[in-house]
Structures are given as structure tokens and as C-alpha cells.
């Protein structure tokens, strides 16, 4: 039987993961297929057990299940345990191991695509979900001097702040963003705001020399990224991180080096056809 993997989330109409991973499987010469598994919250436990019963090699997990799927894992990797979120499931025999490749994906994007220097910088992270947790862990590990957190839900933001061990932590109010965001070297949007069909972010005012990373990848250039470029700063959408975290997942499942360039081309092609 053909080996298979897939992505679990709800909804999944926007997902580029099947295009990215199937391109990688072809390039590596693997007789595997990657599928979409739209799963409602009430069906998550059943879906995870289905992966085990059907012999999936693994799966990715996306919104809104990254946190809730943790309790259905037999074990967790270090990043997944620290963050409390899983985006990659690995099947080892009959056991399911939860990983989080968002940390490595963001770091690879920063290093290989953006060429950003994080050490000793002041960083602002918008959001407090699983993606924001991964970004905060990555920034802290990279030597950021300050990590400021801004989210619409204070309790979640406090939980994310607890992940920071070395950097100075600041908290910003959501309604203060337009003015106070200008004081940072790097802004990372880890919310879905700005995605097609979603509300936009509050009106931010990026400045010259400021870097912006918006994890939203559809549209490829969000209003926040466009504003950063107009101001003379640098801006990137989330496609690069998406590809790099997918590459990290692939390495976990196959033990092989991921064909990142082929995965990037497939992602761009799929996005352009929308």
C-alpha cells in the first residue's frame, strides 16, 4: 500500500501543504502521497487515532488544533513540550510523537531567506497562539535583547511571556500598537489577521530600517508587508517559513534532506493559481 501523510485542520481550503509535500515526495523518489484531512474540533481525537490505525507515516497539524492535539500524543519533542503546541506528528511503530517544527522553520527562514540578525535586537510579536509561542522561543534562543508581546487576550499573552528565559519581556496593549510598534527593530505578525477573508491588523506604521515578517502567506504581500516596504523597511510574508517548517517535518518523517527549492517552487505555483 502507498505510504501516506497529511494535514489535519479546519478549514483546509487555504492549505498549501499538499502541494509542497507531494512535490518533495516526487523529488525524493518516494511512493508516498500527502492528503488533506479537514477535521472539526469534536472529531480530533478520532482523527488522530485514525492516523495510528491506518498506518500514516505522519501528519502536520494546523489551526485550530495545534494545542489541543498535544493530549493525544504518546510523547513530545523538546520544542513541542516547551511550547505546548504540535504541528508535526511522527508515527514510530504504534506510537505517535508530537514535534513542533515552527521554531526551526522560522530560524531557517531568518537565516537562509531574510538574512536577518536577531541578536541584541528589539522584537515585537503579535499574537499568543501556537505560532506566536514558536516565534518567541526562536527569538529568545537567537539572543533578542527585548521581546514585546501584544495580543487581544491578556491571559494567553502571559503564558507566552513565560516562555522567555533570557530576553527582557515587555507587554503592549492592542490599542497602543499603531504608535508603539515603531520602537522595534523587528515586528512579527503571528495572528491570522490580514489573511484573505480575515479582518486586517490595526493600522501600524512601520519605519525606515524596520523589518516586518508576517506569517500570513495568502495574500503573498499583506497590507503590513506593503506598508513596511513603502516606509523604506524590509518585509516578508509567511511563505518562506511555511516551506522551511515543512522541510523540517519531511526530515523527521524520512530521515532525508528536504528538497527546499522544489518545495518553494511548488508553493509559489499553487499560490499563483488561486
List the catalytic residues. Answer: 66
Cross-strand bridge partners of residue 186: 123, 211
Quote the CA–CA distance of 31 and 2 in Å, as a whole number. 6
| Residues 248, 108 contacting (CB under 8 angstroms) | yes
Quote the CA–CA distance of 271 and 107 in Å, as a whole number. 23
Angle between helix 260-272 and helix 17-28 axes, rounded to 10 deg:
140
Quote the CA–CA distance of 209 and 197 in Å, as a whole number. 30
Pairing of strands 88-92, 95-99: antiparallel
Pairing of strands 58-61, 88-92: antiparallel
Q: Give the end-to-end CA distance of the chain in Å, rounded to a whole number.
A: 32
Residue (of 200, 194, 261) closest to 221 by Cα position: 194
Amino acid at each position: 500500500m502507498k505510504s501516506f501523510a497529511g494535514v489535519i485542520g479546519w478549514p483546509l481550503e487555504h492549505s498549501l501543504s499538499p502541494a509542497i509535500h507531494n512535490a518533495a515526495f516526487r523529488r525524493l523518489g518516494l511512493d508516498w502521497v500527502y492528503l488533506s484531512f479537514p477535521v472539526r474540533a469534536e472529531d480530533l481525537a478520532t482523527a488522530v487515532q485514525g492516523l495510528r490505525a491506518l498506518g500514516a507515516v505522519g501528519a502536520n497539524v494546523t489551526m485550530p488544533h495545534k494545542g489541543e492535539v498535544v493530549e493525544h500524543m504518546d510523547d513530545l519533542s523538546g520544542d513541542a513540550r516547551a511550547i505546548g503546541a504540535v504541528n508535526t506528528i511522527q508515527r514510530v511503530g504504534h506510537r505517535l510523537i508530537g514535534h513542533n517544527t515552527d521554531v526551526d522553520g522560522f530560524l531557517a527562514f531568518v537565516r537562509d531567506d531574510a538574512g536577518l540578525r536577531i541578536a541584541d535586537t528589539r522584537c515585537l510579536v503579535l499574537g499568543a497562539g501556537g505560532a506566536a509561542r514558536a516565534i518567541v522561543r526562536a527569538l529568545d534562543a537567537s539572543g533578542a535583547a527585548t521581546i514585546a508581546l501584544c495580543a487581544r487576550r491578556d491571559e494567553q499573552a502571559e503564558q507566552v511571556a513565560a516562555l522567555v528565559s533570557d530576553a527582557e519581556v515587555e507587554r503592549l496593549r492592542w490599542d497602543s500598537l499603531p504608535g508603539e510598534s515603531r520602537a522595534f527593530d523587528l515586528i512579527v505578525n503571528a495572528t491570522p489577521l490580514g489573511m484573505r477573508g480575515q479582518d486586517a491588523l490595526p493600522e501600524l506604521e512601520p519605519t525606515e530600517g524596520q523589518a516586518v515578517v508576517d506569517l500570513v502567506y495568502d495574500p503573498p504581500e499583506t497590507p503590513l508587508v506593503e506598508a513596511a516596504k513603502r516606509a523604506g523597511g524590509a518585509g516578508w510574508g509567511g511563505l518562506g517559513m511555511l516551506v522551511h517548517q515543512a522541510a523540517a517535518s519531511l526530515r523527521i518523517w524520512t530521515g532525508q534532506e528536504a528538497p527546499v527549492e522544489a518545495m518553494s517552487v511548488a508553493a509559489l505555483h499553487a499560490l499563483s493559481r488561486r
